[in-house]
Amino acid sequence: MNREPNPTGQDTEEDDPGALAGGVIYTVTFLLVAYIPATFTGELFGNRGLPLSPWLFAPLVSLALAVMMLLEPHLQSRIWWSRVQNVWGALLLGLSVVVPILLAVVRPMPVWTWLPLAVPTVLSFLPIALALWCVKRWHRHLRKRQRPELGPFTPVPRVSDHDPQD
């Protein structure tokens, strides 16, 4: 499958993951980010263990975000959209970030309550660290795959590939 590059640099219909997939991607991304302060805030309020409620609520958030993403193009064509646009963005952010934090504090449904203090917050960093590590490995894989081999010549080092041992 060989596709022509898009000369305008804009997204095409093929690049659009769809509303449901976009809702899931946004939910997981924002939940990974929101889970850290949710766990930390929960520990400040005396909750023990890792809160499970933000993860249990994630499918509902995904569905709500998917519906909002489906409605947004239709609402943008309305004359009153410019007045509602900031509220719409705040609603998206609140649904995907603030709700998990509130759930973790109000109704945490904790697991691993035997963990010592501050360990749940440290553990909440692990999914983001793992995701960043995976993205870095994938980027390295793509960079190696796209680098042309020009015979027996050694490649000229790039400025960004500077060796700090010099």
pTM of the model: 0.65
Closest by CA to 124, choosing from 96, 90, 100, 91, is 100
For the record, the structure tokens of 80 come out as 């009153």
Rounded distance between C-alpha atoms, residue 14 and residue 20, angstroms: 15
Residue 157 DSSP symbol:
P
Which tens digit of pLDDT belongs to each residue from 142-163?
A: 887 776 656 666 666 666 655 5
Q: How confident is the model at residue 66 (pLDDT cuts 50, 70, 90)?
A: confident
N- to C-terminal Cα distance for the chain? 44
Rounded distance between C-alpha atoms, residue 14 and residue 98, angstroms: 32
* Residue 133, pLDDT above cutoff 90: yes
* Residue 55, pLDDT above cutoff 60: yes
Rounded distance between C-alpha atoms, residue 16 and residue 14, angstroms: 6
Which tens digit of pLDDT belongs to each residue from 106-127?
A: 998 999 999 998 999 999 999 8
